[in-house]
Amino acid sequence: MDLILLGAPGAGKGTQGSRLAETLGIPKVATGDILRESVREKTPLGLKAKEYMDAGELVPDEVILGLVHDALASPAAENGVIFDGFPRNVKQAEDLGRILEKAGRRVDGVIVLEVPDDAIVERMSGRRTDPDTGLVYHVVHNPPPAEVAGRVIQRADDHEDTVRHRLKVYAEQTAPLISFYEREGAVVSRVDGTREINEVQAEILRVLRP
């Protein structure tokens, strides 16, 4: 089963993708993760990606697609994968479709985590990270303990103006994938991502196993 998790930044794709991977026994393919792993392991594609990263440039689609192709070809992925954060636009979706088709596979389902923009902004702009441990807190929902409160920081990409810009980019470039996959005949399921994590997971499993 090859699945795609869609949703705005902060909608919970990473959390739900990891939980789904464990429950379904298939790997989660997050392009950021496989990019960092390939760079760390100094694979040919990883070294090529590092050249762009060191120059402060975006890694081109062809390199990302090469990494996705390699991830799909691994023995761990023979029964399917969960794509988290990929594809990001219709062009990448079309390229992914061709890669899957050559392997005799297709996108079996698309899960869209729906969370209103204002809730996303509240989630992300309230996050604080402990630079010493990497633990993430939230000023409202999970305040840092008194002993670490003085050292937690707000990451630059969690500032409200940055979050709103990322939401705008998502609406313009990634959200159109929903109608793209509907036209392609994939099963697209919308899930309310504002609920408690376990409730969201239960709803995703319900739509996958009706």
- At 163-189, the pLDDT tens digits run 999 999 899 999 999 999 999 999 999
80 and 173 Cβ atoms separated by less than 8 Å: no
Domain count, the chain: 1
Residue 121 has pLDDT above 70, yes or no: yes
Cis before 87? omega within 30: yes
Annotated catalytic residues are 13, 88, 127, 155, 166
Q: What is the CATH number of the domain that holds 175?
A: 3.40.50.300
167 found inside a domain: yes
202 found inside a domain: yes
95 found inside a domain: yes
Give residue 32's pLDDT: 80
Give the residue-averaged pLDDT of 68-75: 90
Instruction: Report residue 19 as tokens.
Output: 């939980």
Distance of CA 45 to the CA centre of its chain: 21
150 found inside a domain: yes
Interhelix angle 90-102/61-73, rounded to 10 degrees, is 30
39 found inside a domain: no
93 and 172 Cβ atoms separated by less than 8 Å: no
What is the domain range of residue 187? 3-27+74-208
151 found inside a domain: yes
Residue 81 has pLDDT above 80, yes or no: yes
153 and 131 Cβ atoms separated by less than 8 Å: yes
105 found inside a domain: yes
62 found inside a domain: no
Give the residue-averaged pLDDT of 101-105: 93
Edge to edge, the sheet with strand 109-114 lists 28-30, 82-84, 3-7, 109-114, 187-192
